[in-house]
């Protein structure tokens, strides 16, 4: 084929990474399924999968970085589009959980409260652990596997840790933008400092989130098993926290790459992709803060 | 390594230089090879899923339990559907997309070739897990392909395997869809504006959008199942304040667009075949595009028509009934456009055309029974009976699968460089069409007379039609062996195909030689 | 099922082709079949039937119109007739027409559909309310608001050897109401609006009587409503089936409703047991009548003759007063064996269960370990699994018997005897 220059779309040669990554994914998935069912080999299988995946992705991305000087603007645009659509898919993933929250609060809890025949005395309130919370606590009903801890729980005060977290994330979006502007203006020092601050803010956020979880579990009695309130609370904030981890990690890698001189004022797709992702994670948090904590 | 680095070693114009076996098939970044892999995978899964359908039909041949116990029967139903939907139809269309999109838009390859290969390779592993679940205690998932809670909460390890397999298929589909969108939006040849794109490209673009929008939702639904099963959450547990019906809402928010994911690319294929053999341009191109978009849009707001009997409030039922009925309008536009394309054409009836006509005819039949299902009060009678089973096999087998068969005959010469055997192709069409109808037409009557679906055993008055259906299914299954034979024979030899293959077909794919060289459109063609 | 069984099943299927065709044609003669809905016996069902036929004929008309055009074109505009292709490719006016006209057709369908739907959803002003509960795999019925409690369960009564055709030796030919017959039947009056409150205990089921035009999902934790009002003069037996996949025996939990006149119904209720069952036995339909019902239940109840009403409200009341009877182990074992028929659906007649789904009773840690635990799991079930709480369904006698039976069968020989009093001690 004709020599690949910048006026051609870059088509990579055959590569073993996808196949190997699929094997790693298989190990992760199979490991997870077996672990949930108590097979002793499962943790090993799953760790092997994760390790393999991490190593492979590292090598894979590394080779992309090495090739990247051969990419023309079309390839760059493909990457951008790809990243945007990936973020869109993440939005829809969160939408499923927000939808569940909405449905439970607005529909199923009131319906349960209306069902006198089955759940006498149950009132529609939010937060709620559902109609069996009280009986379970009193030990009348046999313990359901779904409700571990009963109903005595307190709420997380939105104006305490969550508020700090909101401010932290909002601030981190600003610092990230400053860093981006600095990058475009080729102000190296500022770019690094502001990007580093962003990552640190993200890390503090995660730290506080862990604090909050510990407090919820140990002091407030609020757990994943505290009825449907605990379920929605922990699943939404948990998946969000996981995405913060990912986002912070991406930004950290971007920071290191920047320090190694990988980007310039015109070409820094990885920086932008990381930034988009970070802003997305941020926006989700604002949704969480409003719908999970405040309302 | 890049082509740039290896260009010197390989020589310049060696368009057909192919890497050695392992490298070629396991490490490919070539859209044609990956397309071939997808198509082979899809065909294999059609047989695996079909074999399970034959177990179902064998058991239902007579009342009473003759061959399998009800628990295993439910596993067959469930895995049959999961395999057909996620293993045969969806990957099949991705295979077509891989092969044809770059050729149709004049691109050198898919936009993200390595990711393309990853999308594919996840699938065999995902299905290994799904099929592996037959061998764990309790057997495979047995709760229907919809995996409704709380039945799935009861299942054994196989449910967890099903869930992780679905996660993998989801990852694969999302990556595949991103690739399609980026290829279509970013890699079109100069001059090919959006409204000049071939219909298949349009339908896939919209399908890809649907995929990215709903696969994550499905992933979310099964994730909640998983945590309800193992981590004490109460999303679907009323005692804890959840609702089993919530699962259904989330599932069908995915599930309904999913059925259009399975039919829109088929519409695309039909829109290529009919103009070719009518020797007349596609009628109403722009209305076709808008109709496709309208179907996609509506598909997001009709999901609860699968749940009319769950006891929704009246307003909800009315809304979902009206919205569902509306889908008939854009779909009708498509059907009318196809018929008008044939009108005053100069038609010949090679195998692909037979398939296209068969698809339009049978899909419409299935679509009209879908419209009947949309009428809520009547759906109270139809719901969860064989009338529904008949409906969706008309749209899925006669719509999606037969469109893929037609597409295969249509483009096989381009892929292999050989003409298939026309007589055998026609025989295959007629066998398939006839046995298909013997299998599924009687199911309408069964459903109306009251036979519920997902039944391992049934009252005696349903015997006769079930026997027709079972005989038809075995005939349908056997006929597919002929399909495989024709393909294999065509790959191995046959009359040489010209670049155009058919008489004056439209589209860039017919400007490259047959078989299409390993690399095409290194220099983008210019479209006027 | 284990792998070897799968393979066995599959190899049996391969012999299937041989007798396929032969059986088909011999089968034709025996089957009596229909092509459309069962005859409606309520106003709503008639409305639905009318609606169904309306939309059906509209669809047929559209289908015929569209494909008449297509086949004409196929016939006339073919190359072999040297037809020259036209080159037109759009026409805005035509496109507008075929967008608007279908839309109008839809409106024509939507109007009656809306009317019927509104009528169906109106459950107010009912004369009788029945709570219907789906279980894996039976139905429970409670009449609400009557002077005396009437509640009972209704289970498939088709003999197992009609169902299992695996080994031809022991198999019996299927009867006329194969899979459509139950031990107890729901009794409702004609000419009155009956409201049903539908729920489930474990997974989702759906309660469906085609002739009434009703189908509603039974969802655990929630209550759905439906109503029907059977025409006077249409008294008789009506049958339906569970219409939502609920696990292994989804196909084996039918619904049988016996419609009687209002007067008969009142007599049945008011007389509180003195009602003469033979009055409402419906011989012409050859269905399980109340008489048969009585017979079935009497078998399992060892007291002297029971009245019909007692026959169909067995356990709940009985549970309150453990019988004064002194039980021997043999008696417990015999009774236990018959009760355990309802456990066999999951745990198997030989106590082997289905690995990974339903635990074996044979050698089970519970069934050979603490008696308390054993009684408890039977009475209270295990929430979140298919193991239901049988405390409400079975009397103390029955629980005692089945626990004794399980502890001394399938190779479990603990020698324990569990008495009704032991069970009663666990209640409340
Ligand atoms: C390829 C897949 C596919 C497609 C394209 C469709 C298309 C449609 N489907 Fe179907 N459907 C399924 C796959 C599909 N379906 C599956 C798999 C299920 C079962 C899932 C499960 O439970 O397991 C299902 C179930 C299903 C139900 C639920 C039934 C139940 O469980 O009770 C309903 C109810 O409304 C429905 C309706 C429709 C409608 C209105 C269309 C419309 O899009 C059809 C539109 C087409 C036409 C109407 C014909 C052409 C039009 C004209 C010729 C114009 C003139 C017409 C008029 C003016 C009327 N479908
Ligand atoms: C694209 C989707 C698709 C396709 C192509 C099919 C194809 C077929 N389906 Fe299926 N089906 C579904 C999707 C599909 N189905 C879905 C979604 C359900 C609902 C499941 C649920 O309720 O959860 C369903 C349910 C379903 C049922 C109802 C089961 C029940 O309710 O219990 C039945 C019963 O007849 C059935 C039959 C068939 C048959 C006979 C075919 C035939 O077309 C298949 C023809 C056969 C072949 C093409 C294979 C050829 C094989 C051989 C010749 C044997 C050689 C063997 C080996 C090589 C091992 N299907
Ligand atoms: Cu109960 Cu199906
Ligand atoms: Cu749908």
> Residues A200-219: pLDDT tens digits?
999 999 999 999 999 888 87
Residue-level pLDDT at B15: 54
C138-144 and C150-154 beta bridge pairing:
antiparallel
C188 bridge partner residues? C259
Measured CA to CA, the distance from residue B292 to residue B403 in angstroms comes to 17
* A–B interface: beta-carbon pairs under 8 A: 281
Residues 122-151 of C with CB under 8 A from A: 131
For residue C386, is pLDDT > 80? no
A219 bridge partner residues? none
Instruction: Indicate the DSSP class of residue C236.
Output: E
Residue length of chain A: 295
Question: In 10 A of CB A139, how many CB atoms?
Answer: 9
Is B305 considered catalytic here?
Answer: yes
Residue-level pLDDT at B282: 94
Residue-level pLDDT at C223: 93
* Mutate: best of C131, C151, C222, partner A, most A CBs <10 A: C222
Is B173 considered catalytic here?
Answer: yes
Is B306 considered catalytic here?
Answer: yes
Residue-level pLDDT at B476: 96
Tens of pLDDT, residue by residue over B501-525, are 998 898 999 999 989 988 888 888 8
- State how far residue B29 is from chain A, nearest Cα, in angstroms: 5
Tens of pLDDT, residue by residue over C160-218, are 888 888 877 788 888 888 999 988 889 999 999 999 999 998 899 999 999 999 999 99
Per cent of chain C over pLDDT 90 is: 32
Residue-level pLDDT at C271: 66
Quick check: B244 contacting A, CB < 8 Å? no
- Please state, in angstroms and as integers, the Cα–Cα distance from residue B57 to each residue in B468, C185, C408, following that order: 10, 32, 41
Pull the structure tokens for residue C46. 């008639």
Using the CB atoms, write b or e for A193-202: b if 16+ within 10 Å: ebbbbbbebb
Q: Are B95 and B179 in contact (CB under 8 A)?
A: no
Q: Are B18 and B32 in contact (CB under 8 A)?
A: no
Least confident of A163-172, B354-363, C413-422: C413-422
Touching partners of B (3+ C-beta pairs < 8 Å) = A, C
Which residues of chain C lie closer than 8 angstroms to A119, CB-CB? 221
Active-site entry in B173, B203, B416, B520: B173
Residue-level pLDDT at C305: 35
- Report residue C319's pLDDT band, with 50, 70 and 90 as the boundaries: very low
Question: In 10 A of CB A141, how many CB atoms?
Answer: 17
3-class DSSP assignment, residue C45 = helix
Per cent of chain C over pLDDT 70 is: 79
Active-site entry in B32, B188, B229, B334: B334
Residue-level pLDDT at C350: 81
Instruction: Provide the H-helix boundaries in B279-385.
Output: 285-299, 314-326, 328-342, 351-374, 376-382
Pull the structure tokens for residue B237. 């547990």
B50 in contact with ligand 2, CB cutoff 6 A: yes
C143 sits in which H/E element:
strand C138-144
C138-144 and C194-200 beta bridge pairing:
unpaired
Q: Is the peptide bond before A127 cis (omega within 30 degrees of 0)?
A: yes
C153 sits in which H/E element:
strand C150-154
Using the CB atoms, write b or e for B154-173: b if 16+ within 10 Å: bbbbbbbbbbbbbbbbbbbb
Is B334 considered catalytic here?
Answer: yes
User: What's the average model confidence in pLDDT over A47-75?
Assistant: 91
Quick check: C381 contacting A, CB < 8 Å? yes
Tens of pLDDT, residue by residue over C334-372, are 888 888 877 887 887 788 887 777 888 888 888 888 888
Pull the structure tokens for residue A124. 């529609």
C-alpha count within 13 angstroms, C-beta hemisphere, residue A49 = 18
Taking CB atoms and an 8 Å limit, are A118 and C381 in contact across chains?
A: no
Measured CA to CA, the distance from residue B515 to residue B499 in angstroms comes to 8
Of the candidates A237, C380, A229, A135, the one whose C-alpha atom is nearest the C-alpha of residue B232 is A229
Tens of pLDDT, residue by residue over B462-499, are 999 999 999 999 999 999 999 999 999 999 988 999 99
Query: Which of B129, B217, B237 is the closest to A92 by Cβ?
Result: B217
Measured CA to CA, the distance from residue C60 to residue C54 in angstroms comes to 10
Residue-level pLDDT at C384: 62
Query: Which of B28, B246, B250 is the closest to A14 by Cβ?
Result: B28
Pull the structure tokens for residue C2. 């284990």
pTM of the entire predicted model: 0.90
Q: Are B264 and B298 in contact (CB under 8 A)?
A: no
Residue-level pLDDT at A250: 95
* Mutate: best of A92, A115, A131, partner B, most B CBs <10 A: A92
Using the CB atoms, write b or e for B472-488: b if 16+ within 10 Å: bbbbbbebbeebeebbe
Q: Are C253 and C138 in contact (CB under 8 A)?
A: yes
Given the CA of residue C58, which atom of ligand 1 is nearest to it? 59
- Report residue A134's pLDDT band, with 50, 70 and 90 as the boundaries: low
Measured CA to CA, the distance from residue A294 to residue B410 in angstroms comes to 59
C208 bridge partner residues? C215
Query: Nearest residue on chain A to C380, judged by CA atoms?
Result: A142
B98 in contact with ligand 2, CB cutoff 6 A: no
> Which segment, C51-60, C86-95, C164-173, is predicted with the most confidence on average?
C51-60
For residue A172, is pLDDT > 60? yes
Residues 53-82 of C with CB under 8 A from B: 55-56, 59, 62-63, 66-67, 69-70, 73-74, 77-80
Q: What is the CA radius of gyration of chain C?
A: 27
- State how far residue C221 is from chain B, nearest Cα, in angstroms: 5
CA C150 to chain CA mean position, Å: 19
Q: Cβ-count burial of C57 within 10 angstroms (0-12 exposed, 13-18 middle, 19+ buried)?
A: exposed
Measured CA to CA, the distance from residue B413 to residue B498 in angstroms comes to 8
Query: Which of A5, A14, A148 is the closest to B19 by Cβ?
Result: A14
Measured CA to CA, the distance from residue C272 to residue A255 in angstroms comes to 84
Q: What is the CA radius of gyration of chain A?
A: 23
| Sign of the dihedral through C-alpha C218, C220, C225, C230 | positive
Is B80 considered catalytic here?
Answer: yes
3-class DSSP assignment, residue A8 = coil
C78 bridge partner residues? B347
Which residues of chain C lie closer than 8 angstroms to A111, CB-CB? 222
Question: In 10 A of CB A264, how many CB atoms?
Answer: 11
Residue-level pLDDT at B510: 93
Of the candidates B276, B329, B285, B345, the one whose C-alpha atom is nearest the C-alpha of residue C72 is B345
- Report residue C290's pLDDT band, with 50, 70 and 90 as the boundaries: very low
Q: Are B323 and B298 in contact (CB under 8 A)?
A: yes
Residue length of chain C: 428
Name the phi and psi angles at C258, rounded to 5: -105, 120
């Amino acid at each position: 084929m004709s020599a690949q220059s910048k006026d051609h779309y870059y088509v990579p040669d055959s590569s073993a990474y996808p196949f190997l990554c699929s094997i790693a994914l298989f190990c992760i998935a199979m490991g997870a399924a077996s672990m949930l069912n108590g097979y002793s080999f499962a943790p090993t299988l799953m760790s092997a999968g994760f390790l393999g995946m991490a190593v492979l992705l590292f090598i894979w991305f590394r080779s992309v970085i090495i090739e990247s000087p051969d990419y023309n603007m079309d390839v760059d645009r493909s990457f951008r589009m790809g990243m945007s659509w990936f973020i869109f898919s993440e939005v829809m993933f969160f939408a499923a959980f927000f939808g569940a929250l909405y449905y439970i609060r607005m529909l199923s809890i009131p319906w349960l409260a209306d069902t006198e025949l089955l759940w006498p005395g149950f009132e529609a309130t939010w937060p709620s652990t559902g109609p069996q919370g009280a009986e379970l606590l009193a030990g009348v009903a046999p313990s359901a596997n779904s409700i571990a801890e009963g109903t005595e729980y307190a709420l997380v005060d939105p104006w305490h840790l969550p508020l700090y977290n909101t401010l932290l994330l909002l601030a981190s979006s600003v610092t990230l933008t400053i860093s981006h502007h600095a990058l475009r203006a080729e102000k190296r020092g500022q770019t690094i400092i502001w990007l580093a601050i962003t990552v640190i803010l993200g890390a503090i956020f995660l730290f506080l989130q862990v604090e909050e979880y510990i407090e919820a579990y140990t002091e407030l009695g609020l757990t994943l098993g505290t009825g449907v309130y605990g379920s929605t609370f922990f699943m939404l904030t948990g998946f969000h926290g996981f995405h913060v981890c990912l986002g912070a990690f991406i930004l950290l890698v971007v920071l290191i790459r920047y320090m190694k001189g990988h980007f310039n004022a015109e070409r820094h797709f990885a920086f932008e992709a990381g930034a988009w992702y970070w802003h997305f994670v941020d926006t989700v948090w604002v949704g969480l803060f409003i719908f999970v904590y405040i309302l | 390594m890049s082509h740039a680095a290896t260009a010197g070693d390989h020589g310049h114009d060696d368009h057909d230089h192919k890497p050695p076996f392992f490298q070629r098939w396991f490490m490919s970044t070539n859209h044609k090879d990956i397309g071939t892999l997808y198509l082979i995978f899809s065909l294999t899964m059609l047989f695996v899923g079909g074999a399970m359908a034959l177990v179902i039909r064998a058991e239902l041949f007579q009342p009473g339990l003759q061959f399998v116990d009800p628990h295993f029967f439910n596993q067959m139903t469930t895995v049959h559907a999961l395999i057909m939907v996620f293993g045969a139809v969806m990957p099949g269309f991705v295979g077509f997309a891989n092969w044809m999109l770059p050729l149709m838009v004049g691109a050198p390859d898919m936009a993200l070739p390595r990711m393309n290969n990853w999308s594919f390779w996840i699938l065999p592993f995902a299905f290994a897990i799904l099929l592996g679940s037959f061998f764990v205690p309790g057997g495979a998932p047995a709760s229907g392909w919809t995996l409704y809670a709380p039945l799935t909460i009861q299942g054994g390890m196989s449910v967890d395997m099903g869930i992780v397999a679905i996660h993998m298929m989801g990852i694969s589909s999302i990556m595949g869809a991103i690739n399609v969108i980026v290829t279509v939006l970013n890699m079109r040849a100069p001059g090919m504006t959006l409204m000049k794109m071939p219909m298949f490209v349009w339908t896939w673009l919209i399908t890809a959008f649907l995929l990215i929008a709903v696969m994550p939702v499905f992933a979310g639904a099964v994730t909640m199942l998983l945590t309800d099963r193992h981590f004490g959450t109460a999303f679907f547990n009323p005692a804890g304040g959840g609702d089993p019906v919530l699962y259904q809402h989330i599932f069908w928010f995915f599930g309904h667009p999913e059925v259009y994911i399975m039919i829109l690319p088929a519409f695309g294929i039909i829109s290529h075949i009919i103009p070719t053999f009518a020797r007349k341009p596609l009628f109403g191109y722009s209305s076709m595009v808008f109709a496709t978009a309208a179907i996609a849009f509506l598909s997001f707001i009709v999901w609860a028509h699968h749940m009319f009997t769950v006891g929704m409030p009246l307003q909800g039922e009315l809304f979902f009934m009206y919205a569902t009925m509306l889908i008939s309008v854009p779909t009708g536009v498509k059907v009318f456009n196809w018929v008008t394309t044939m009108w005053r054409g100069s038609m010949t009836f090679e195998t692909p055309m037979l398939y296209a006509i068969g698809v339009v005819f049978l899909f419409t039949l299935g679509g009209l029974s879908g419209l009947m299902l949309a009428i809520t009060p009547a759906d109270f009678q139809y719901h969860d009976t064989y009338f529904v089973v008949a409906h969706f096999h008309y749209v899925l087998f006669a719509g999606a699968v037969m469109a893929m068969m037609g597409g295969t005959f249509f483009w096989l010469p381009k892929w292999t460089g050989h003409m298939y055997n026309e007589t055998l192709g026609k025989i295959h069409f007629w066998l398939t069409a006839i046995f298909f109808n013997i299998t599924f037409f009687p199911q309408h009557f069964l459903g109306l007379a009251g036979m519920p679906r997902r039944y391992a055993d049934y009252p005696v008055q349903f015997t006769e039609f079930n026997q027709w259906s079972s005989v038809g299914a075995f005939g349908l299954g056997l006929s597919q062996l002929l399909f495989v034979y024709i393909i294999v024979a065509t790959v191995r030899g046959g009359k040489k195909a010209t670049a155009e293959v058919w008489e004056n077909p439209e589209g860039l794919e017919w400007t490259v030689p047959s078989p299409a060289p390993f690399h095409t459109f290194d220099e983008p063609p210019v479209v006027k | 099922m284990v792998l070897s069984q799968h393979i066995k099943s599959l190899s049996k299927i391969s012999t299937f082709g041989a007798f396929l065709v032969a059986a088909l044609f011999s089968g034709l003669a025996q089957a009596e079949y229909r092509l459309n809905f069962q005859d409606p016996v309520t106003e709503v069902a008639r409305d639905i039937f009318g609606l169904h036929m309306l939309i059906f004929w509209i669809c047929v008309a559209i289908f015929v119109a569209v494909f008449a055009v297509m086949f004409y074109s196929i016939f006339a505009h073919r190359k072999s007739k040297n037809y020259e292709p036209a080159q037109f490719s759009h026409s805005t006016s035509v496109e507008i027409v075929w967008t608007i006209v279908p839309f109008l057709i839809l409106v024509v369908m939507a109007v009656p559909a809306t009317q019927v739907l509104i009528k169906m959803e109106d459950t107010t002003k009912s004369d009788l309310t029945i709570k219907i509960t789906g279980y894996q795999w039976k139905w429970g019925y409670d009449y609400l608001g009557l002077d005396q409690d009437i509640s009972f369960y209704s289970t498939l009564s088709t003999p197992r050897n009609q169902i299992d055709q695996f080994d031809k030796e022991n198999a019996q030919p299927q009867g006329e109401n194969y899979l459509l017959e139950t031990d107890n039947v729901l009794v409702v009056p004609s000419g009155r609006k009956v409201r049903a409150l539908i729920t489930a205990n474990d997974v989702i089921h759906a309660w469906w009587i085609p002739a009434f035009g009703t189908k509603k999902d039974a969802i655990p934790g929630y209550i759905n409503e439906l109503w029907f009002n059977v025409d006077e003069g249409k008294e008789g037996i009506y049958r339906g089936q569970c219409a939502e996949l609920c696990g292994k025996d989804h196909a084996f939990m039918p619904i049988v409703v016996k419609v009687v006149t209002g007067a008969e119904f009142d007599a049945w209720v008011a007389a509180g047991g003195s009602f003469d069952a033979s009055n409402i036995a419906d011989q012409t339909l050859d269905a399980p009548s109340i008489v048969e019902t009585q017979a079935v239940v009497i078998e399992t109840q060892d007291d002297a003759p029971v009245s019909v009403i007692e026959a169909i409200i067995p356990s709940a009341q009985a549970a309150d007063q453990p019988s004064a009877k002194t039980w021997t182990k043999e008696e417990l074992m015999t009774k236990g064996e018959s009760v355990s028929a309802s456990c066999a659906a999951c745990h198997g007649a030989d106590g082997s269960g289905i690995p990974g789904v339903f635990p074996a009773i044979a050698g089970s840690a519970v069934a050979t370990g603490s008696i308390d635990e054993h009684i408890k799991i039977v009475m209270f079930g295990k929430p979140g699994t298919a193991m239901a709480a049988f405390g409400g369904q079975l009397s103390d006698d029955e629980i005692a018997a089945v626990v004794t039976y399980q502890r001394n069968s399938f190779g479990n020989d603990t020698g324990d005897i569990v008495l009704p009093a032991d069970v009663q001690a666990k209640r409340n």
